Chain A
């Protein structure tokens, strides 16, 4: 364990040398190699500075300057996971997997194998029990160059969630990954998740960050998602952490031919939340919808970075990000669309719309379209405004008080994103959380836990290698 601020790269390099044995105890050769590259990248580029293009509007210096406890192996004894959770929505049946303070909660359990052949478990266990799968995908999609936090994660992370869905498999219920932060000291956590979805398969994944106390947690997590030919993934990222918490999450999606992605980033509360979505459309006919909703107040900040790489022809992408910012809150949106020279007949849309409720709230929104093909349809739009005063008057003229009129309009604004959620029970649940948030009734203890379940009896590990 260390306890120090995070703003000194040379400290990280020292920790790496001192703790590599612990960090990499389960490593496959590929990861060992990546770790070394990662440290080199960090040494040359350092941590993000406000002069870096991608960090121009988000100054993370303050968050990095706090001292945090950092653990290189699971430090928790006798964890009672059931105590941490309470059931809220029993209707939605999910496979629940839990991280507590950055570590897989059921640390000694084997990987679970569902009847369909789907594998769910911790990444550290998968390194031991399914090394070929990990080797084939880990670090293939996340780029460390220009992404210091991805490098930091690659160098130090040793646990996270591992999901493998074989070909021709529809996972019957959503898989829900939750990271709960509940520790008396400030914690720096780095988790690494790997999701592999085979050909013609489908997966719904709910990924939540929760905090249960008021210490300053700092999460730097990274998720790589491989979506095979003609496969579909619906990915829901939900964040409801306390006002002192920092959450950096980067998701790297790699879509093959005819693959489909629906991604939702719903930021309900947090001190500084940065969601990075890197989407590579790697085969003809791939389709990605990337949605985001952020509801921030006080001095909170949210930052969404979306990079869509049209690396193959005939692909479509659509981005819709909406935010409501109250008090002194700050919103940032960076949307980068890259259409490569051979990616003809690309269709790419991008929209970012914001409502500022006070004159102290602010937004930086920046579209960046980089197009090298000529037969493409691309559009982008950004708006920053207030609640429509005509609509306010109309609602109030029917007897609706100012507060409720504002609520109706804000809710209507947010509902466009929530309405895109495909699972009905999840949509209703998120709808309810959004309403609570807008009314100021959401507490950080409102878990996004949608279903409680005990892990099934560990199953003897067995992989049908023919399916890989």
Chain B
């Protein structure tokens, strides 16, 4: 098992947001986590990635057999966890080239590998750019600075392709995308699917799941996973709306 989340409770400033999440993800699987706004989807992504803003009060997150709760964010990334940001940060003055090269070399060092040569690195940049149809020269551009919404999301998937993580958590990757950009981003993600890695897609809408077809769909509601099913669950949600979940939960 790649990822196991056990009875996870977490919050911010004393306010509990996750109230006992249980989740298991195996290599080769694509999971979708859906749910209404404000139920803790992004918090779950942040807690797995290691954002220090949130306090974990109970439970555990186990990745490749070891608890990662004590690991700083960079170590989790080096172990193979990738977070695709809902709102990628603009960093003026830091070039994408420099950023990715530093990241790749630190990850490689952690794994006992030699740094990539300049030529090998640039070849890899060119190859991965094609995957998400980035035509512009990235070399001299600052990270996300002046990017459109679509470019920012493409850039997230580009980074994912560069880093080749074992577990990718894509937080609302579809938000703010027009249909063409959505297709490009989804194609990129699909090309990166393999038997050795897993992808967790967090989304509010079913739309994205037409392009990235999940194996398993979960519904997160008020800090807990309240429903799990196959890809048809997403369609059912689309049809009945989140009101259906709310009513069902209140009826219990």
Q: Look across to chain B and name the residue whose beta carbon is closest to the beta carbon of A394.
A: B89
If the complex has contacts A398-B159, A399-B107, are A412 and B102 also in contact, measured as CB distance less than 8 A? no
Bound together, the chains give a CA A374 to CA B172 distance in angstroms of: 51
Question: Cβ of A404: which chain B residues have Cβ within 8 Å of it?
Answer: 102, 106
A441 within 8 A of B: no
**Is B124 part of the contact surface with A, judged by Cβ < 8 Å?**
no
**Nearest Cβ distance between residue A431 and chain B, in whole angstroms?**
12
| A397: interface (CB < 8 Å) | yes
Within 8 A of B (CB), among A29-54: none
For the A-B complex with A394-B88, A397-B77 known, give 15 more contacts whose Cβ atoms are closer than 8 Å: A391-B91, A393-B73, A393-B89, A394-B85, A396-B73, A396-B74, A396-B77, A397-B50, A398-B100, A399-B74, A399-B78, A405-B74, A412-B91, A413-B93, A416-B92
Whether A397 touches B49, Cβ cut-off 8 Å, given contacts A404-B102, A408-B102, is: yes
Chain B residues touching A, range? 20 to 34
Q: Is A409 an interface residue (CB 8 A)?
A: yes
Does A17 sit at the interface, judged by CB under 8 A? no
Contact B91 A398 (CB under 8 A): no
Residue from the list B72, B74, B94 in contact with A408, Cβ < 8 A:
B94
Return the contact of B103 from the options A393, A398, A402, A411 (Cβ within 8 A).
A398
Tell me, yes or no, whether B147 is within 8 Å of chain A by CB: no
Q: Which residues of A contact B85 (CB under 8 A)?
A: 394, 397
Q: Chain A 268-287 against B: per-residue CB contact (8 Å), 1 yes, 0 no?
A: 00000000000000000000
List A residues at the B interface (Cβ < 8 Å).
388, 390-391, 393-402, 404-405, 408-409, 411-413, 415-416
A400 and B98 form a contact (CB under 8 A): no
A415-B73 in contact given A397-B49, A399-B103, A399-B163 (Cβ < 8 Å): no
Cα distance A413–B91 in the bound complex, in angstroms: 10
Q: Which residue of A lies closest to B50 (CB)?
A: A397
> Measured between alpha carbons, how far is A397 from B83 in the docked complex, in Å?
7
Query: Does B110 sit at the interface, judged by CB under 8 A?
Result: yes
User: Contacts A399-B110, A408-B102; is A394 near B91 (CB within 8 Å)?
Assistant: yes
CB distance from A407 to the nearest CB of B (A): 9
Using A396-B72, A397-B83, A400-B103 as known contacts, say yes or no to A409 and B77 having CB atoms under 8 A apart: no
What residues of A have a CB within 8 angstroms of the CB of B103 in the complex? Answer: 395, 398-400
User: Chain A residues with Cβ under 8 A from B82's Cβ?
Assistant: 397-398
Contact of A401 with B93 in the complex, beta carbons under 8 Å: no
Known: A399-B163, A402-B72. A416 touches B93 (CB 8 A): yes
A391-B89 CB under 8 A given contacts A397-B83, A408-B94 = yes
B98 touches which of A396, A397, A408 (Cβ 8 Å): A408
Binding site for A on B (CB under 8 A): 49-52, 72-74, 77-78, 82-83, 85, 88-89, 91-94, 98-100, 102-104, 106-107, 110, 142-143, 159, 163
Q: Point out the residue from A393, A405, A411 that lies within 8 Å of B93, measured CB to CB.
A: A411
For A416, the chain B residues whose CB sits under 8 A away are 92-93
The reply to whether A399 and B77 contact each other, CB–CB distance below 8 Å, is yes
Contact B106 A401 (CB under 8 A): yes
Complex partner residue of A415 from B52, B74, B93, B100, CB under 8 angstroms: B93
Cα A393 to Cα B92 in complex, Å, equals: 15
Known A-B contacts A393-B51, A408-B99, A408-B102; the reply to A400 vs B74 at CB < 8 A is yes
Residues of B within 8 A of A412 (CB): 91-94, 142
Give the complex CA separation of A405 and B143 in angstroms: 13
In the complex, chain B residues whose CB is within 8 Å of the CB of A398: 77, 82, 99-100, 103, 159, 163
A-chain residues with CB within 8 Å of residue B51 when the two chains form the complex: 393
- B94 touching A409, Cβ below 8 Å: yes
Q: Across the interface, which residues of B come within 8 angstroms of A391, CB to CB?
A: 89, 91
In the bound assembly, the distance between CA atoms of A367 and B100 in angstroms comes to: 39
For the complex formed, measure the closest distance between the CB of B131 and the CB atoms of chain A, giving whole angstroms: 17
Contacts A393-B51, A395-B99, A408-B99 given; indicate if A401 touches B89 (C-beta within 8 A).
no
Q: Given the interface contacts A408-B98, A408-B102, does A395 sit within 8 Å of B91 by beta carbon?
A: yes
B237 vs chain A, min Cβ distance (A): 29
Q: List 16 A-B contacts (CB under 8 A).
A: A388-B91, A390-B89, A391-B91, A394-B89, A395-B103, A396-B74, A396-B77, A397-B77, A398-B100, A401-B74, A405-B74, A408-B94, A408-B98, A409-B91, A412-B91, A412-B142
